[in-house]
């Protein structure tokens, strides 16, 4: 398990450790390439080999683009996008060398369109989804599976601060169970819940002028 806060990692380890599993945690800021490389080296040393990596770290925020936002955009891109690219840079050549491996990236259905108030988050997730899609096409020739998971709203620390409506929000244990099942079923991509997936599909195929009218209406209601 990898995250920055080692106290929380230690307490999670206590919660989930059993006689049958072997859990290690490493404190790492995924936006820092050197820390990612050190994490890979430690994990390889501890386990002998790495078969699967689940790249889930992410940061969300509401952003107003009429306020200077360069630093925030660089920071969120650093976590959401480069957090995945940093490990891709290390793990894709490693998995290619082994002729197998599984690289699971967590994106979001927020990748589908630019939503008002979420320009930074949406663009980081659009970048993540494209990167994973290209990687899937390339890495399948080397026996490596690249999977994209796109959750809808899940009740976590990330969404607790949101004031806007979050249709079909799901509790995090249920979301974790669904993702676990999808990873084991060897799907290449998985979006959930189905209602949000359907909504995002419709948004995707809507002609731009119609989407733009809807997006502007949302602003008029002050959300």
Ligand X SMILES: NC(=O)c1ccc[n+]([C@@H]2O[C@H](COP(=O)([O-])OP(=O)(O)OC[C@H]3O[C@@H](n4cnc5c(N)ncnc54)[C@H](OP(=O)(O)O)[C@@H]3O)[C@@H](O)[C@H]2O)c1
Is 84:187 a contact under the CB 8 Å cutoff? no
Of the pair 72, 156, the CB lying nearest ligand X is at: 156
CA 145, 151, 155, 157 torsion: positive or negative?
positive
117 binds ligand X per the rule CB under 6 A = no
Q: Does 112 bind ligand X (CB under 6 A)?
A: no
Site membership for ligand X, residue 79 (CB under 6 A): yes
Token pair belonging to 168? 């079909």
HSE at residue 161, side-chain half, CA atoms within 13 A, is 7
Binding range to ligand X, per CB under 6 A, among 4-12, 87-95, 135-143, 180-188: 4-12
Contact region with ligand X (CB under 6 A), list: 2-10, 87-95, 182-190, 194-202: 2-10
Subset of 122-181 contacting ligand X (CB under 6 A): 151, 153-154, 156-159
Residue 154 CA, distance from chain mean position: 12
Q: Can you tell me which of 36, 76, 77, 106 binds ligand X, judged by CB under 6 A?
A: 106
* Binding of ligand X by 193 (CB under 6 A): no
As a whole number of angstroms, the distance between CA 121 and CA 112 comes to: 11
How many residues lie near ligand X (CB under 6 A)?
Answer: 23
Site string for ligand X, 16-35 (x = CB under 6 A): ------------xxxx----
- CB neighbour burial string for 67-76, b if at least 16 within 10 angstroms, e if fewer: eeeeeebeeb
Distance CA(20)–CA(57), nearest Å, equals 26
Q: Which is nearer to ligand X, 3 or 142 (CB)?
A: 3
- CA distance linking residue 211 with residue 208, whole number of Å: 5
State the residue number with the nearest CB to ligand X. Answer: 58
Q: Which residue, 110 or 139, is less far from ligand X as judged by CB?
A: 110
* Angstrom distances, CA of residue 205 to CA of 149, 178, 185, 196: 20, 26, 28, 14
Residue whose C-alpha is closest to residue 39's, from 19, 69, 9? 9
Nearest CB to ligand X, comparing residues 89 and 142: 89
Binds ligand X by CB under 6 A, chosen from 42, 59, 183, 203: 59
- CB nearer ligand X, residue 5 or residue 216: 5
Q: Residues in the site for ligand X, rule: CB under 6 A?
A: 3-5, 8, 28-31, 56-60, 79, 106, 108, 151, 153-154, 156-159
């Amino acid at each position: 398990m990898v995250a920055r806060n080692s106290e929380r990692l230690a307490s999670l380890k206590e919660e989930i450790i059993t006689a049958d599993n072997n859990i290690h945690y490493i404190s790492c800021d995924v936006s820092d390439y050197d820390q990612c490389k050190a994490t890979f080296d430690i994990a390889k040393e501890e386990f002998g080999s790495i078969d699967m990596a689940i790249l889930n770290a992410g940061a969300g925020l509401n952003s107003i683009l009429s306020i200077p936002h360069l630093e925030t955009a660089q920071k969120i891109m650093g976590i959401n996008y480069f957090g995945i690219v940093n490990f891709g840079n290390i793990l894709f050549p490693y998995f290619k060398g082994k002729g197998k491996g599984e690289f699971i990236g967590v994106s979001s259905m927020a990748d589908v369109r630019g939503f008002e108030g979420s320009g930074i988050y949406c663009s980081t997730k659009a970048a993540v989804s494209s990167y994973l899609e290209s990687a899937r096409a390339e890495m399948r020739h080397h026996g490596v599976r690249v999977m994209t998971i796109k959750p809808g709203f899940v009740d976590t620390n990330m969404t607790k601060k949101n004031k806007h409506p979050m249709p079909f929000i799901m509790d995090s244990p249920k979301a974790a169970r669904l993702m676990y099942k999808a990873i084991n079923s060897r799907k290449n991509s998985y979006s959930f819940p189905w209602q949000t997936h359907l909504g995002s599909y419709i948004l995707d195929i809507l002609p731009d002028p119609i989407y733009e009218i809807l997006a502007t209406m949302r602003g008029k209601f002050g959300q």
